[in-house]
Amino acid sequence: MNSKVQLAMFLSLALFSSSIVVGCATGNKELNTKLSQETEVKKRSDLGQEATGLIASNPKLTNSQKTQLFALRDSVKAQMDQIQSDSLKLRAVLIREVLSPNYSSKEARLIERRMAKLDSKRTSVILNTIDEANRILGRMDELDREEFLFDLMENRDQMRGEL
């Protein structure tokens, strides 16, 4: 494989692996409105600070709920930090593999599968966090959750067809 093709593959993989897909097949209008009102893309640390402020300043939360939500936030941060670290390592190995004169498509596919597993794990952590926060707050709507997961799987299948 020549270096131009390897470089093109590298750039495509780098762009693809760092992109985030937002939205579902249904109910996008409200979400798109909310997203358009966000003035800037936030870093995880900004979101953590915002969550801390929202939890601390909410007068409707009990001290127990606040304590549980802060513990949940800390636990999720640790999990997401580990996932991010693992993801960066995999991307570094993939970049080296793609640019290697001894390129192995089997090795690249193995790395890609591990990256997909990490993305799935990241999504699971987020969805489980939502469930746990709702449990702490005394609410849970299982039907909405099932509909969301169905939409998510449908979108994933559509994206695979586009690649």
Model confidence at 11, in pLDDT bands (50, 70, 90)?
Answer: very low
Coil, strand or helix: which one is 139?
Answer: coil
Predicted TM-score (pTM) of the model is 0.62
- The per-residue pLDDT for range 37-89, each reduced to its tens digit, is 776 656 777 777 888 888 999 999 999 999 999 999 999 999 999 999 999 99
What residues contact residue 133 under an 8 Å CB cut-off, 6+ apart? 69, 72
pLDDT of res. 40: 67
What residues contact residue 38 under an 8 Å CB cut-off, 6+ apart? none
Residue with tokens 């930090």: 81
DSSP 151: H
